[in-house]
Structures are given as structure tokens and as C-alpha cells.
Amino acid sequence: MKCQRLVLTNYQRLFRRTFLSNVNTNNVTINNNPGLYGYMLGSEFKAQPKLLQLFHSVQAETSSSIVHFCSGSIVCHRGSGLLAKLISRLGGAPPPMKKGSVYVEIQQSIDGQEEIWTRTFVDDNDKNNKKTAFRFQTIQYLKDDHLIEIIGNSLSPIKMQFVFKIQAVYNNSKTNECIGFDHILKSVHLSFGNSRRFLIKLPKVLQPLAHGETRIDLSDSKSWNLKVELFAPNLKIFSWFMNDKRRFIGGYEGHINRFSKSQIQQLYHLQQQSQQDHPIMILGGFGLFGARIASALLAENYRVIVVSRKNHPVVYLKILQQAQKHSKDKNNNKNNLQILLFDVNQLNELSLNIERSKSKIVINCCGPFQSKTAREYRIAHICLQNLVHYIDLADSREFIINFTKQTNMNAHAKEAQICMVTGASTVPGLSTTVIAELNEKYFHSIDTIEIGISPGNETSRSLATIQSILSGVGKPLKFLNLTVYGWQSLKQAKDQFHVKLNNNHRRFLSAVDVPDLDLLPLLYPTIKSVEFRAGLELDILHLGLWLCSWFVRAGLIQDLSYYSKLMKYISELSIFTKFGSDRGGMFVQIRGTDINTKRDIQVIWQIYAGSGDGPQIPATAAVILVDKILTRKNNQTDSTLKSGAYACVNLFTIEEYMSKLRSYDIEANVRIDMI
């Protein structure tokens, strides 16, 4: 299935620049503007069900536009015959799907005269589980008491402009209650692009027939059903060519039951009673790790606010699907997820949204944390000013070490009884926990520590993660007193990884700069060697990056992270993606003297992730910390989470970590060898 999207004309771009604004679902003063459909229905708009009134009216605080969302289930149909398929493609209609999800973004101009509807369809029965999205965008505007909808394939310069009359529909009972409205087609025009001046009206005999229905769900009045159908012109030649007396081209029908507008959620109590009255805000919540954290928190019935600069409907739907899949309560309410669209680097806007949303915790997933801007800790300071707890997924050695040296921030956090935790990820969060427990159980003293990570080639990769890795390639770093270079010190992992990975082949590993290289010598003063390496499953990709590291080391390339997008594009080419697997893993190998016999001993802790679940491992630390923060009482309940600003070192147990991962294809074990 190919993604399609209408190419924005200059007019549309102007519309977006003029009207597109942040999504704010928490503090909106209702404007009396009834919106496009309110103008169309006139006095009958007040007779519409309250849900439809709230959804279509323009609700704003300022003279900007409103962007809001709805989603639900969908079934798409396609007529039989080549002609039906051809017309459907030319019209940009969605492909057939027996069970799908739809996500609709509506941009409303403040005067209520115009709207842009972007519908994203995702096939839930996609056998390849790629969840490829199909986008269908239309422009709706008001003209001469009619609703005009511009429809057409993104590749076609010719568009069709359907002229509809919106008609209220009443049930047949004695109450004569209004239950929705219909789109009644009046005429069809052809236009070049989205032009509104030069239109060619089709003769009635050549006009396709279209009909749309919107009906409130009478069982609960908290959702509605929709139906859209398109038929070829009423000519026998079309019936003959299409081998269908109805001349059916295509259409879809669905059920909309999730809404972003706070007035709808509050009126109908759509937000399920969650574990906390205050939501968890995730910055970069549509990213690789942010989306994983969001779905895990939703599965535990937390309210979540995802913050992103851009809207990502497919990721939104995937978050909901993953939350449903891993939730103990399969009836978990999906309206606990909200979206805010703004740039977190606009600190005033960030502070305002934290205050308005009454967020309790902010989780910062906006990497890479190697940048100079990140090291200024602006987001952490904004959280401290708003007296909200702060967690980040930093993996930068410099970022985390300097974070722990922020004495003023630490003092203010202690005074305000706020937890500010950096490095809630695989390193140093999980790695230091594993080493602490193995040391206590098996070792009298530790001599060497070696950590390795290798994800599967089919596992999702984010641009921020690639930037983080590439920023250190070819640059000097310290393995204790030994100077090495990023993505060099090449070696092959023999039997350190889990047996499920070893059955594949030995994976290459190279040196990577991580905070553990500074933190572990402070925790274990007798240590003689600390090494951290990471690797790619495909040898050609790993060795190619190793080759590039020499260009950086020689000074021919200043910083490889400048080419992150290119590197990501290359790694995702089909020539590479069809090889490898969705299996990855991590190991922590410790050597020292046995706690009982004082003999030399080697202990290897191994964790394996299959089915592409590898990114859930680094995402889990933040989920555990959310639980711990929200169960603190008077700073005494959980001694591991004291107030202040500090690194995520020994803040949980391996058992706590693995208990969060039981519903995933992830397992861990320990191997002990006497040397």
C-alpha cells in the first residue's frame, strides 16, 4: 500500500501559515462561532446532538485557528472491476480494508468559513505488520450556502469540487429527535488544482453520485457513525463496464469515538478515572522511545500528554494499539491520551503548557542530548520552575556527568521536594542496576566490566538515536586510562550475548562513549577496566561505519552526525532491510573474585529482545520511575527516589525492570563461569 497525500498548493500553504496553531485540549474558552457546519445547518445546528455541536464549532482563546483530532474504527470498500479501481485511484480514495483505524485532523479557520480535513487510514489486518498509512486530504469551504469539498489524487493536477447541501436528519419516533445530518450532492465541478475561480461544471449526466451520512450513536450519545459512498454516473455504459448495476466505485463506513477537544471529554466523562488526576507529559512523544513510554503508561491507566512539533497519525494509532495489547484491563479507555503540538525549544510555550495541563511529571525524550543546547538543561529548569518532576532518557556522557554537578538545581529541587532524574535508559539506568545486583550477589571485588549492545537490523531506529551514535564516531574517548576512538577498537562478541543471538552469528562491536565510563569507576574504586561497545547486526553496515570513523579520526570529516539523515536513509534501503532480523540484545560481563571462594570468576548478565521489542528496554526505566515518583509520600516512602537532581543509578531492581517487560518478547538470564 503506498502512502498518498495531496500536494499543498500555495493557497493551502498560506492557509496553514495563517491558521495552523498549537493543539491545546486543556484550557479553551468556547467561542460562539458555530463553525462551517453550523453555518450550513443554520438554526438546525442547535437541534444537532451536543457531541456534534461541540465537535464542529470553533473553540478558541485567541484569533488563531483550531486544530483538533478524532479517531476510531473504519471499514473501506472498493467497487468491482477495473473502472471502479481506476476512478478510485484518480479520486484519491482509500484502498479496501476489512478492519482499519482512522485518524482525522481538522484545521478550522477562526472565522469558521474553511476547514482542511486530513484522514489517515491504517489497515489493522496488515499481514506484514508495517502499518502503512494512506492519507486522504480534502479542503472544505463555504460558498453561497453550500459546502464545497475539493477532492483529488495528489498526483493529478485536475481536482473535483463537490457541491453539497447539508441537511439535518431526524429519527422517526414521536420525539422527532435530531440524530445527525447528510451530505446531499448538488453538482460537481472540475478545477485545475484548488482554483476557486475557473471551474467547469459537469453535465448532470456525467456527474458521479456521492452521499455522506453522520449519525449519533443512540446507545450512548458519546460517539457517532459515518458512511460515505461514491457511485459512477447513472449511465448504462458504466454499469456495463463496471459489471455492477449499482455502479459502486468505493466508500467507507466507521465509528468515531475518540476526541481531542477537552469540552467533549469533560461533558461525556470520556477520560477514564486514571491513577493520577495530573497527566504525564512526554516531550518527543511521537519518537521511537517516547511512543513506547506513552503506550506503556497508557497500559497502566495513566493519563498521558504527547508533545511533538508535528502530528504523526500512524504513530498515534500505534501507541493506542500497543497500549491495548499490553494492558491488563482490555477495556482501558483510550481517551487518556492527549496531544499538544508545539516546539519545546520555545520555553515560554513549554512552561505555559505545563501549567495549563497540570502535568505532574515531564519525561524528556527530545534527543540527541549531545548538543550544546541540550547541555544547558533549559527544559529541566523549566520543570523546576513549574514544580513538576523531571525525567530524561539522556545517554550522553557529558550531559549526565554535568547534570549531577548542577549544585543550584540540586539544591532547589531538594527544597521543592522535586525529583529530577537524568539517564533513565539502558545506560546508565539499567546497566548500573545490573552491576550493583551482580556485585552484591557474586563478587568480593570487581576487576573489569564490559557492556555490549546490538539491536536487530529490522528494529525501528530513530533519527535522534542515529545522531547520538554518529556524534562520537571517530572521536577520542576514555576507557578509564586508555584512550580509544569512537566506533573503533573493533571486536566480535563470541558468547557474551544471549544464546538466541549466538545461534545467528557473531556480531561486531565497537567503542562508544557512554556515562557509565565515568560513573562506574566512582562506584567501584578497585575496578581496573571499563569498556562499552555497541554494534549493528549487519556486518556491511557496521564495518562501513567503522571505515567512516577513520575519516573523522584523520580530520577529513569534522562530525559524522551532520550526515545523520543520509545514514538513516541508507540503512533503510531495501537492499539492507531485507537482511538481518528483529532480534537484539545486551550483555553485562563482570570479572573479579568470588564472594565466597575468592577465586577468579566471570558473570555475564544477558537480555534478549525479539519481535522488534528491543526499544522497549530503554523505554522501561522512565515507566518505573513514574510509578516510584507517584507513590512517594513526604519524601520517605521510597528511599531510592530522594528529592534533588541526580543520575539514574541504582534506582530500581532487575525484578522491577523485568516485571514491566513480561508481556513483551524479552527475556534475561545470568551465566557464571569460574576462570
pTM: 0.79
Predicted confidence at residue 5, as pLDDT, reads 33
**Average pLDDT, stretch 264-291?**
77
Residues of CATH 3.30.360.10 domain(s) within the chain? 427-615+664-674
> DSSP characters for 583-651?
-EEEEEEEEEEETTT--EEEEEEEEEE-TT-TTHHHHHHHHHHHHHHHT--TTTS-TTS-SEEEE-SS-
In this predicted model, what pLDDT tens digit does every residue of 519-559 receive, in sequence order? 999 999 999 999 999 999 999 999 999 999 999 999 999 99
Q: Of the ranges 278-292, 486-500, 532-546, which one carries the lowest mean pLDDT score?
A: 486-500
Whether 344 shows a pLDDT value over 60: the answer reads yes
502 or 60, which is more confident: 502
User: pLDDT class for 663, splitting at 50, 70, 90?
Assistant: very high
**What is the reported pLDDT for 511?**
97
**Bridge partners for 139 per DSSP:** 116, 150
**What does the chain come to in residues?**
675
The answer to whether residue 32 scores a pLDDT higher than 60 is no
Q: What is the per-residue pLDDT for 277?
A: 65
Measure the CA–CA gap between 498 and 291, rounded to whole angstroms: 27
CA-CA-CA-CA torsion sign (37, 38, 42, 44): positive
Given a cut of 60, whether residue 661 has pLDDT beyond it is: yes
Over range 276-281, report the average pLDDT: 81
pLDDT at residue 645, rounded to an integer: 96
Does residue 463 surpass a pLDDT of 90? no
What is the average pLDDT across 8-14? Answer: 34
CA distance 337 to 573: 33
Q: Specify whether the CB–CB gap between 656 and 624 falls below 8 A.
A: yes
User: Which fold would CATH assign to domain 281-426+618-658?
Assistant: Rossmann fold (3.40.50)
> 605 - beta bridge partners?
588, 670
Numbered ranges of CATH 3.40.50.720 in the chain: 281-426+618-658
Give the CATH number of domain 427-615+664-674.
3.30.360.10
Q: Write out pLDDT tens, residues 359-398.
A: 999 999 987 787 766 668 999 999 999 999 999 999 899 9
Mean pLDDT of 654-671: 95
Query: Radius of gyration of the chain from Cα atoms?
Result: 28
> Residue 27 — very low, low, confident or very high, per pLDDT cuts 50/70/90?
very low
Quick one: three-class SS letters along 272-320? CCCCCCCCEEEECCCCHHHHHHHHHHHHCCCCEEEEECCCCHHHHHHHH
CA-to-CA dists, residue 17 to 109, 591, 664, angstroms: 11, 60, 42
Question: Which pLDDT belongs to residue 267?
Answer: 73
Q: So what's the pLDDT on residue 492? A: 92
Among 97, 96, 135, 100, smallest CA distance to 118 is for 135
How far is the C-alpha of 638 from the C-alpha of 421, rounded, in Å? 15
Cell numbers linked to 217: 450513536
Examine the pLDDT at 18 and tell me if it is beyond 60.
Answer: no
Written in H, E and C, the secondary structure of 457-510 is CCCCCCHHHHHHHHCCCCCEEEECCEEEECCCCCEEECCCCCHHHHCCCCEEEE
Q: State phi, psi for 566 to the nearest 5 degrees.
A: -65, -45
DSSP 8-state symbol, 93: P
Q: Interior CA angle at 74 toward 70 and 80, to 5°?
A: 140
Q: What is the mean pLDDT of residues 309-316?
A: 87
User: Alpha-carbon distance 399 to 404, whole Å?
Assistant: 9
What's the pLDDT score for residue 194? Answer: 77
Give pLDDT, residue 637: 47
Report the range of poorest mean pLDDT among 76-90, 158-172, 342-356, 578-592: 76-90
Looking at the chain, the whole-number percentage of residues with pLDDT higher than 90 is 55
State the first-to-last Cα distance of the chain, in angstroms, to the nearest integer.
55
**Statement: residue 26 has pLDDT above 50:** no
Q: What's the sign of the alpha-carbon dihedral 81, 82, 87, 89?
A: positive
Average pLDDT for residues 116-137, to the nearest whole number? 77
